[in-house]
């Protein structure tokens, strides 16, 4: 089968022929991938950012936002059957460690992350585990693939915001890209907060308005002052930082009201955090990492209810490098999806 | 009456005569202070650390860990009566803003912090509000005064730890001083976690053992490696940093397992927080600020149950500068309490 | 001033002249009532149902759903000023007991319930406490008065449902009257559940549809079977019983899925609860009682956001007995509001 | 192998020879049972109480509190290996339904309950699923077997109490048998509440004192009045009813303070619940059903910490009917355990 693989850091992926993977274990499932989202993390992988964290062996196939159709199942599989449309939870977990047993799949003590630590979904087929599948029923894989990571990361961050706010609280979202446009929709259907979106691109601010932001702020023009003005000098209760560079992290802290939380999702930058600032106003800084199986199920439910819609730009597997370039330049609206 | 007041930063407090305060409003209460704890924050105030945050007008009376006996009550007061033994919640709150209405006194939109932003309890009398009092029944004010801040700050931090752990989780406490020796006792009666205490002083590590720590670690000898060894390379689930300097903050982050939280209570230092570290293992950094009225009530309940005991060293009002010096040198065991 | 008072059980209220109440204490506020909702509980009071519980001394003024304009304030009042439009939380609380301090106003150890245990708001003026007021800003008192009890009771029940469900769960509401039509709107903006409304009146089922119910069920025709069919034999996750007669209570239990909760709000009936049924499927039965100050604040916020609208039928104080009759017959759509 | 089986309701179990079960599926595990607790539910099964709920086919092997040693594992099993000492979570679950995925094993949509709906552990061997096992390390199976159901049911009920109380709250436990003596120990190490135990047997009240009850009440002498006296007429915050007959259920409700909860664990009786009583004081009635995998893990952790100790009376498989008789007469202290 054909697959888009990383042979060297800072180089384009190569589309090459590899062996089609096969079901070997009782609980495994072979999925024909018919939608795979292109993510900022793919860019970061190509740049070598993840090398220190996971030390993958090159070459390997990227792609961690996958959806498709069940092609073949292991003999012990009961949760899905051939022909089912499914979305793939981004990690493969053991199911037996305590994090798995309490539902926190991402903290599995033995996880594999296809597309990051192993071969991923920029390919015609992918073998995964029964535990990693959520049925999508009548939804189309290529329409929902980005929910597997962009959407899942957004819902977990939004739930952190939801549990720390009340009706009328103010939530700021920094960055209206693949994650941001979903986060805005989720904030609108999962909370009754006031939502302000920040971005440096005029067209993304227009997108933010369409996705439900009550206010939009051009982040090129003193965004801290603008948020303070919008909140009558009070500051926001929550800032969700989907960008994560030095500037957005520092600004995020400055925008917060007493008792507020900065939810970090985007990465690359560093935050200089003074202890006295953290205690004086009892602030929290919360890292957020993808989400668990039930959050992916919830996201599919909300999509079926018509409350969430992913903006996608579709292309062939060969276009994956084009998508990566557009992402780097910040000119991709919504999410790029390749259809292998 | 006599009071210990700060006339200039970096100078000792002066014991001077000032007017005795009086009850002026319906909800006010005059308390005869018979115990006032001496806190690291008093040191920080003298050093000018709080000037940027609260800009107090010098001179003023320090002392924010106060307990005593009700001397006089305003006409509208119903919650206490003359002669009641009471401990003073450290802040005076309006009672009507949303934070007050949901029980989060420390986040009151109009709070006054006697001893930090206004005259405090290193004095014979203090006027406070009915809302700030918790009855201590048969306990002695001079024995429990440090619960008003050291204890209250400890219980809030411990409750953050308790809600994020399960029986068998590992909690590290950095610093076994006034807060630390109470935090250790609280961890033992409010959780079933394994508790490790760190300090740079041999005598404080012995104190930690008496207060219930399962393990103690000499923080002068690579504390990160020691904690990793104690946790079979897993790391701690929670680190409570009661010191808050650059070194303890950095070490705290390195000691954490996936999904862990660093609870910052001590201050002075700065933490360099890389976004990728925060998201890769979904870490949290939580500032913690004193505690609310109900947490102070709970602390008094636990003390009456015999589960918490404050180690105090008592002295006269004139000895306040001696206590501050001992605190600076790190040679005070437990908490210094002046009896005005 | 004129007031509608109960002189004898099972008799109409009499409109009589009584002394206008006055501000006597520092924290009291005199409110000119310009909207007072007529509630099923008023009917129950007239029928003597509450006599065993609260033993009020007749005659007294009913009316516990009050809103109006601040006429005069006590000298210590800071939260409102003359001329402010306000809604009255239904109970007057001491503010100092533990329930008050953790925000659970309804559980105040010393509460007074105007209109049930003391003179209420079917009158031109009412004296209440500063603690019982929520500002309504640009909303009109006569439009929102029913939020003080019908709305507040609905939001608390809905929050119990919300915290025990997830997106896609099924919630049944029994009864589409004053509370029900608000509960349906709240379920739609505070959850992403599927909502089914039951009533015995065709016009109320039409109202339910307008208020956002996904499904409506004519409760005269085997409602248990209908709910089972709507849920593919699974049953509902939550049943909110706003009627509370023997039949609705028994049906409510039968409609529940494993792990489900019956939230009881309406009253009058009795439920025969077998212990084995409760444990076999781990069911919960939850009484719900009005709501706290912050829930009333939240309700006003949601109303200002345009997400909640109370259907009212307005009349003069003299029409209060007519409203009670219409309520008894079940022919009042939404809520009757008298404007004294 | 030998097994104790139910051939007819209201008759003693017969010890007979049956085929030894074998591992057939990839995730199955064969456990040699070396400890099986005898439970009130076994009595209820023999009496036919469970027939209406689960309709088992007779004859079958009882025994749902099982522990032992792993004898053989299926080819896909990774969580345990031959020779591991294990305790068996009482139900076998699918692992893929939403309840399983969020950690609520007892609510599995496809569960099997060995000893109740299928062959259980009053036998030399039992085949279960890898998902149902918790390692007990150095503990002995025959000492901890009752934790599988009695202990697990107790910890879940205690956690419901813990999450609804604070330090100083009052918790009443009705019944000091197999569950009760564990519940008391759990209340002492998981909460800082005041604990009162009720029983009709003098020796069990003495046991209760040893297990940590602060107060004991002879339930033959107006227990409601005694609890009211112990709580200064306030009533208890939580009543855990481990008996569940008409009398204890009715008494339980009468003992509760405003906002209180009755946790039902024992069964057999019926509670007449008036809606007005439920709403007037906002009461809750909570069924509690065994517990989940992580609660069993926690129980083993607490036992290893030395905080929980099961009082057992051990016997051979042939003595199972004797244990059932002693249980019926209420003369068994702690828990009977057969060692097949």
- Convert the pLDDT of each residue in A222-237 to its tens digit: 999 999 999 999 999 9
Which chain D residues touch B135 with a CB distance below 8 Å? none
What mean pLDDT comes out for the span D174-185?
96
- pLDDT exceeding 90 applies to what percent of chain C? 96
| pLDDT score for D25 | 93
Q: Indicate if the pLDDT at residue D334 is higher than 90.
A: no
* CA distance, residue C167 to nearest chain A CA (Å): 6
Closest to B298 (Cβ–Cβ): which among D167, D189, D190?
Answer: D167
Contact B265 A282 (CB under 8 A): no
Average model confidence (pLDDT) across chain A: 96
| Chain A interface with B: residues with Cβ < 8 Å | 49, 53, 99, 104, 106-107, 241, 244, 249, 258-259, 264-289
* CA distance, residue A122 to nearest chain B CA (Å): 22
Which chain D residues touch B305 with a CB distance below 8 Å? 167-168, 192
- pLDDT exceeding 70 applies to what percent of chain B? 100
Which chain D residues touch B307 with a CB distance below 8 Å? 192
Contact A189 C190 (CB under 8 A): no
Tens digits of residue pLDDT in B92-102 = 999 999 999 99
Structure tokens at C294: 């912050």
Give all chains having 3 or more CB-to-CB distances under 8 Å with chain A: B, C, D
Cis peptide before C59 (omega within 30 of 0): yes
Q: What is the DSSP letter of A116?
A: T
User: The complex's ipTM?
Assistant: 0.95
User: What SS3 string covers chain B?
Assistant: CEEEEECCCCCCCEEEECCCCCCCCCCEEEEEEEEEEECHHHHHHHCCCCHHHHCCCCCEECCCCEEEEEEEECCCCCCCCCCCEEEECCCECCCCCHHHHCCCHHHCCCCECECCCECCCCECEEEEEHHHEEECCCCCHHHHHHHHCHHHHHHHHHHHHHHCCCCCCEEEEECCCCCHHHHHHHHHHHCCCEEEEEECCHHHHHHHHHCCCCEEEECCCCHHHHHHHHCCCCCEEEEEECCCCHHHHHHHHHCEEEEEEEEECCCCCEEEEEHHHHHHCCCEEEECCCCCHHHHHHHHHHHHCCCCCCCEEEEEHHHHHHHHHHHHHCCCCCEEEEEC
Tens digits of residue pLDDT in C124-141 = 999 999 999 999 999 999
Contact D276 C107 (CB under 8 A): no
Contact B244 A281 (CB under 8 A): no
| pLDDT score for D52 | 85
Q: Indicate if the pLDDT at residue B15 is higher than 90.
A: yes
Closest to C189 (Cβ–Cβ): which among A192, A298, A301?
Answer: A192
The region of weakest confidence among B334-338, D239-243, D285-289 is B334-338
Taking CA–CA distances from A165, the nearest residue in chain C reads C298
Tens digits of residue pLDDT in B36-86 = 999 999 999 999 988 888 899 999 999 999 999 999 999 999 999 999 999
Closest to C168 (Cβ–Cβ): which among A166, A190, A301?
Answer: A301
Tens digits of residue pLDDT in A14-64 = 999 999 999 999 999 999 999 999 999 999 999 998 888 889 999 999 999
Contact B98 C297 (CB under 8 A): yes
Which chain A residues touch B284 with a CB distance below 8 Å? 284-287
Contact D98 A25 (CB under 8 A): no
Taking CA–CA distances from C76, the nearest residue in chain B reads B26
The SS3 of residue C18 is coil
Contact A270 B267 (CB under 8 A): no
Contact D267 C287 (CB under 8 A): no
| pLDDT score for A52 | 85
**Separation of alpha carbons D338 and D33, rounded Å:** 10
Average model confidence (pLDDT) across chain D: 96
Contact A96 D78 (CB under 8 A): yes
| pLDDT score for A206 | 97
The SS3 of residue D197 is strand
Average model confidence (pLDDT) across chain B: 96
Indicate the helix (H) or strand (E) that contains D337: strand D335-339
| Chain B interface with C: residues with Cβ < 8 Å | 25-27, 75-76, 78-79, 94-96, 98, 101-103, 130-131, 292-294, 297
* CA distance, residue D304 to nearest chain B CA (Å): 10
Query: Which long-range contacts (C-beta less than 8 Å, at least 24 apart) are formed by A77-82?
Result: A77/A26, A77/A27, A77/A28, A77/A29, A77/A130, A78/A130, A78/D94, A78/D96, A79/A130, A79/A133, A79/D94, A79/D96, A80/A29, A80/A130, A80/A133, A80/A135
Q: Indicate if the pLDDT at residue D120 is higher than 90.
A: yes
Contact D98 A294 (CB under 8 A): yes
- pLDDT exceeding 90 applies to what percent of chain D? 96
Which chain B residues touch A99 with a CB distance below 8 Å? 259
| Chain C interface with A: residues with Cβ < 8 Å | 166-168, 189-190, 192, 294, 298, 301-302, 305, 307
**Four-CA torsion B104, B105, B111, B115, nearest 10 degrees:** -130
Contact C192 A307 (CB under 8 A): yes
| pLDDT score for B332 | 86
Which chain D residues touch A292 with a CB distance below 8 Å? 101
The region of weakest confidence among C46-50, C199-203, C208-212 is C46-50
Contact D275 C258 (CB under 8 A): no
Best mutation target among B77, B86, B89, B96 (most C Cβ atoms within 10 Å) is B96
What mean pLDDT comes out for the span C231-256?
98
| Chain A interface with C: residues with Cβ < 8 Å | 166-168, 189-190, 192, 294, 298, 301-302, 305, 307
Q: In 3D, which of A171, A181, A170 has the Cα closest to residue A204?
A: A181
| pLDDT score for D330 | 84
Contact D167 B305 (CB under 8 A): yes
| pLDDT score for D149 | 97
Tens digits of residue pLDDT in D186-226 = 999 999 999 999 999 999 999 999 999 999 999 999 999 99
Closest to C275 (Cβ–Cβ): which among D270, D279, D281?
Answer: D270
**DSSP β-bridge partners for residue C68:** C33, C86
Best mutation target among A163, A167, A297, A298 (most C Cβ atoms within 10 Å) is A167
| Residues D246-284: b if buried by 16+ CB within 10 A, e if exposed | eebbebbbebbbbbbbbbbbbbbbbbebbbbbbbbbbbb
- pLDDT band of residue D54 (cuts 50, 70, 90) is confident
Q: Indicate if the pLDDT at residue A333 is higher than 90.
A: no
Q: Indicate if the pLDDT at residue D331 is higher than 90.
A: no
| pLDDT score for B132 | 97
- pLDDT exceeding 70 applies to what percent of chain C? 100
Which chain D residues touch A294 with a CB distance below 8 Å? 98, 101-102
- pLDDT band of residue B266 (cuts 50, 70, 90) is very high
Which chain D residues touch A77 with a CB distance below 8 Å? none
Contact C297 B102 (CB under 8 A): no
Best mutation target among D96, D110, D298 (most A Cβ atoms within 10 Å) is D96
**DSSP β-bridge partners for residue C196:** C172, C215
Taking CA–CA distances from A160, the nearest residue in chain B reads B284
Best mutation target among A96, A98, A294 (most D Cβ atoms within 10 Å) is A96
Going by C-beta distance under 8 Å and a sequence separation of 6 or more, which residues neighbour residue D104? Answer: C259, D292
| pLDDT score for A330 | 84
């Amino acid at each position: 089968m054909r697959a888009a693989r990383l042979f060297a850091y800072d180089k384009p992926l190569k589309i090459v022929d590899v062996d089609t993977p096969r079901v070997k274990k009782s609980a495994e499932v072979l999925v024909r991938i018919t939608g795979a989202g292109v993510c900022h993390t793919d860019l970061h992988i190509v740049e070598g950012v993840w090398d220190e964290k996971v030390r993958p062996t090159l070459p390997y196939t990227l792609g961690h936002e996958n959806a498709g159709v069940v092609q073949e199942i292991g003999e012990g599989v009961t949760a899905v059957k051939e022909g089912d449309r499914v979305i793939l939870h981004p990690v493969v977990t053991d199911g037996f460690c305590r994090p798995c047993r309490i539902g926190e799949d991402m903290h599995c003590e033995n996880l594999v992350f296809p597309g990051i630590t192993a071969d991923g979904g920029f390919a015609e087929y992918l073998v995964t585990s029964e535990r990693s599948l959520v049925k999508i029923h009548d939804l189309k894989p290529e329409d929902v693939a980005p929910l597997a990571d962009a959407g899942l990361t957004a819902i977990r961050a939004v739930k952190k915001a939801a549990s720390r706010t009340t009706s009328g609280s103010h939530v700021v979202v920094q960055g209206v890209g693949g994650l941001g446009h979903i986060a805005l929709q989720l904030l609108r259907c999962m909370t009754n907060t006031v939502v302000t979106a920040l971005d440096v691109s005029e067209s993304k601010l227009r997108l933010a308005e369409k996705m439900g932001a009550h206010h939009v702020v051009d982040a090129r023009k003193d965004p801290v002052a603008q948020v303070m003005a919008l909140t009558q000098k009070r500051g926001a209760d929550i800032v969700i930082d989907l960008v994560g560079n030095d500037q957005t992290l520092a600004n995020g802290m400055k925008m917060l009201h007493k008792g507020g939380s900065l939810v970090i999702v985007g990465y690359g930058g560093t935050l200089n955090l003074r202890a006295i600032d953290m205690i004086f106003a009892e602030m929290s800084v919360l890292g957020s990492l993808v989400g668990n199986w039930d959050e992916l199920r919830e996201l599919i439910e909300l999509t079926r209810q018509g409350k969430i819609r992913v903006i996608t730009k579709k292309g062939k597997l060969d276009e994956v490098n084009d998508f990566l370039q557009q992402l780097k330049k910040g000119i991709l609206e919504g999410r790029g999806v390749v259809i292998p």
